[in-house]
Structure 1
Amino acid sequence: MLEVTHGDVAWIESLGEIFCLTFIKQVEETEALKRLGAVPDTLRPRTLQEAQDAYYSYEAGYPVFAFVLNLGTWALLIEPDGFKASLIEPLTALSRGTEVVSVQRHEYADHGFRYAVDGTLVTGFEPTWPQVRWGSEPDRLVGKMRAAGLDPVPPEDEDEDDTYISRAYIPAFLLAGLITGAVPHPDTLTGQVLSAEIEPWFNGAPPSLPHGPTDSGMRAALEAAPPRLLRTVAARETMRLATVLNLHTTPGLAEAVAAAERGEPVTISPESELGTHIRSWLIRSRQAGGSLNDPSAQHKMSDDQRTAAHMRAWFVNALKGALWPEPLAAARCALYPLTQGPPLLRDAAQEAAILHALRGDQSN
């Protein structure tokens, strides 16, 4: 077992109030960044300070960066100010064909620990309360948890308040070291480190599924519909949204959606013509949201420009879903703006027509 103490890992506090550290086994550094959604033309060595400066910059588009270290058998992804790898969809994508251990600190939400193998979450918990665990094998790491100072089964005579662990992300990082046998020295983060801007739209992970239509009839119709009809519904609704937002002539868009409707695999690279447009829409959306909390940039977008940027964010989320090969997920994502989006994207007559088409097919 790795001989490391809490003092050897406490330096991670210097990364700030929000960060995610993710170990990925036997995956080369550039590939690890790519799996997280690295934009290839942003791949280069940079300092943590450079990334932080860009993160707060309107002109840069408030980007999120990830850094990567080679620890031998394992690569370590570092997300300062980020937590994408801790989310279930990117996590499972990162772990396909390998193992992943992720530790998250988030002072304004929850900390997190995740251990995944080949697309399956094995063990997950909030390190502050390690007695509550989930996953396919929630007790798999119990021995190492105790060694790291995360008691998974507190004494019966302690109440819930007594089981609270302060600064629990530190023993959680120690636990990651016990699993991987690899803990970086803080000096490895000084100077320039290989990094890239992360855009999760391109990371190959499944879309984050919305709750879908709230209408029980629509939900039932979607669940009963055949795959070919679900793909058609997803494709046609995506192109309707594109037309509403005057994006339907975007090069490559109609062709990609049509291929998905035929059931063909579709991959959009960030460097492609369509990918470049998608990146620009995502950047504009970040600027719209980020500038509201940035006193130096609040005047740089009008209300109409912010609204347009937010509408395109709704669209790119629907588009990612519509291109996903699982038909029900594709339809749910594509229909989300129609059924629960802002007024500009909703259309009662279109919703009724889709419901009729779904039910009509099922009656044949």
Structure 2
Amino acid sequence: MNMPTPNPADHAWLTGDDFSHWTTGFCVTLLPNKSPDWVEDILRTFLGAVPVLDTTQPYIAHIHAAGSGSIMFENGGFGGMMLEVIRRLSQDTKAVVVLRDFLGNAAFAYAMDGEIITRFDIYFPGDRLGRSPDALNDQLSAVGLLPAYEYVFDEDVDEEDVPERDLNAEVIRALAVATAVTGVRFDKSHLNAAPHAVSLAPLYGSDLARRFA
């Protein structure tokens, strides 16, 4: 698969004060060649999302134009990682979802034409599932997510001397891979309210929330 080399430096802004969502959690869905109108229509027509009437509604997804595609940003949600959501959004295109929840868990899913190509825990990318689990191995290797981190106990090394993993940096590397796959890049502007926004709350109360990509 011919893709550009991922560049984590493009997402260095996520380490600054402009991004406060490491504690609340976030979910970013990148969709090439699909407009915000199309994304909103899919979410409302087929998945039960509802219009946003005020900002106090739970589980709001902001849908932004991003070049020739779209980005869906959720503060504290995980709607993009629901299996039926990514299936619907990847019809006739591809979709990549990067999730980092408020508990610190992190996941990556890549789908095309309604089928999961590869998915994995960002902190343990050696264990990949999907139709073609190794589809992004070159990109994952380019950003240092492969070979996967493996802690090897050494009785001669004090545990306090073992370098601490920068888990946020690993999520940023995954976002760089997502950009390489889709050509759509997540930037600061996508943290703002968007003209296209829906509440995914009805999905969280349904069986859809029990099945993940």
TM-score normalised over the length of structure 1: 0.45
Q: Which is worse superposed, 103-112 or 146-155?
A: 146-155
- C-alpha distance in 1 between matches for 2:172 and 2:116: 21
- C-alpha distance in 2 between matches for 1:26 and 1:34: 15
Matched, 1:99 2:94: yes
- Judged with a 3 Å threshold, the aligned counterparts in structure 2 of structure 1 residues 140 and 134 are, in CA distance, closer, same or farther, namely same
CA contact (8 A) 1:36 1:200 kept: no
CA contact (8 A) 1:9 1:174 kept: no
Q: What runs of 5+ residues in structure 2 fail to find an aligned partner?
A: 154-161
Question: 2:31 corresponds to which letter in structure 1?
Answer: I
CA contact (8 A) 1:129 1:164 kept: no
- Judged with a 3 Å threshold, the aligned counterparts in structure 2 of structure 1 residues 87 and 147 are, in CA distance, closer, same or farther, namely same
1:178 equivalent in structure 2:
180
Count of residue correspondences: 190
**Aligned-residue identity in percent:** 25
Greater helix percent: which structure? 1
Please point out which of 152, 156, 160 is paired with 1:159. 152
Deviations 1:259-306 (A, max 9, x none): xxxxxxxxxxxxxxxxxxxxxxxxxxxxxxxxxxxxxxxxxxxxxxxx
Greater strand percent: which structure? 2
SS for the counterpart of 1:132 is: strand
- C-alpha distance in 2 between matches for 1:100 and 1:10: 24
1:11-90 equivalences under 5 Å are 13-16=19-22, 17-37=24-44, 38-40=49-51, 42=52, 51=55, 54-55=56-57, 63-90=58-85
Q: What runs of 5+ residues in structure 1 fail to find an aligned partner?
A: 44-49, 56-62, 212-364
Whose radius of gyration is greater, 1 or 2?
Answer: 1
Deviations 1:214-267 (A, max 9, x none): xxxxxxxxxxxxxxxxxxxxxxxxxxxxxxxxxxxxxxxxxxxxxxxxxxxxxx
- Judged with a 3 Å threshold, the aligned counterparts in structure 2 of structure 1 residues 3 and 166 are, in CA distance, closer, same or farther, namely closer
CA contact (8 A) 2:8 2:173 kept: no
Question: 2:67 corresponds to which letter in structure 1?
Answer: G
1:194 equivalent in structure 2:
195
Higher RCO by CA contacts (8 Å cutoff, separation 6 or greater): 2
In the TM superposition, residue 184 of structure 1 has moved relative to its aligned partner by 3.4
- C-alpha distance in 2 between matches for 1:159 and 1:93: 41
- C-alpha distance in 2 between matches for 1:71 and 1:196: 15
1:118 equivalent in structure 2:
113
Question: 1:122 corresponds to which letter in structure 2?
Answer: I
